[in-house]
Chain A
């Protein structure tokens, strides 16, 4: 089954404790991205990757890191999480970054930083 898989689905952590949210897709997609979703603000892009070893900042990259060492994986790293990073996070992938392709989303990771 074609899918985008995020782990964990739920995470509660403390301020300053490094964490990684994993994302994997099995569709051989080139383009992957991370979003955060907050009430009233919709989906905001954190980082995206056009292909392996190519990443770039989205609209709200502060406090996040990503890597794209393999085509299928695109982990999101929070080196020192803070309470304002409490949010619902989605990983998405698409065949390419070209204009006529829709994104496939993971199920989401609900992160709480206390």
Chain B
């Protein structure tokens, strides 16, 4: 079927490398951020979230970094595996003056080569 990865920024890595996926968000009032993973033919799945009172949060093999000064979010994946190949979206929500409706970024396609 048609890939949602068409026309998206693409990051290609070798299996075992660390991956860093970046996201610039738009609303300085947003105070909750989420990373989603979307595999081919599936709906987005929650990976990790972070609130604006934090600048780093770690999960299993994933770390999210938040830099509110420059409105930048990153997702780091350690020891990337072929199963990590997917499109990754960031989403922002909330905050005074912000919206409780999530706004999604366009996504980055991660390709992991064995």
Contact = CB atoms under 8 A, between A and B. Distances in A.
B101 A58 contact: yes
A42 B38 CA distance: 11
A58 B99 CA distance: 12
User: What DSSP secondary structure best describes chain B's contact surface?
Assistant: loop
Given A42-B105, A48-B101, A105-B43, A99 B2 contact: no
A100 interface: yes
Nearest to B2: A39
A84 interface: no
B31 A39 contact: no
Most buried by B among A4, A35, A90, A99: A99
B30 to A, nearest CB: 9
B89 A108 contact: no
Nearest to A45: B101
Contact of A42 (B41, B95, B101, B104): B104
Interface residues of B, number: 32
Contacts of B51: 100
Interface string A32-44: 0101010111110
Nearest to A98: B100
The winner among A33, A48, A90, A105 for most chain B CB atoms within 10 A is A105
Nearest to A99: B94
Contact of A99 (B3, B41, B45, B93): B93
Nearest to A97: B100
B7 interface: yes
B70 interface: no
Interface in B48-69: 49, 51
Interface of B: 1-4, 6-8, 31-32, 34, 36, 41-46, 49, 51, 89, 91, 93-95, 98, 100-102, 104-107
28 contacts: A35-B104, A37-B4, A39-B2, A39-B4, A40-B6, A40-B7, A40-B106, A41-B106, A42-B106, A43-B44, A43-B89, A43-B104, A48-B101, A58-B101, A90-B43, A97-B101, A99-B32, A99-B94, A99-B95, A100-B51, A100-B94, A105-B36, A105-B43, A105-B45, A106-B43, A107-B41, A108-B42, A108-B43
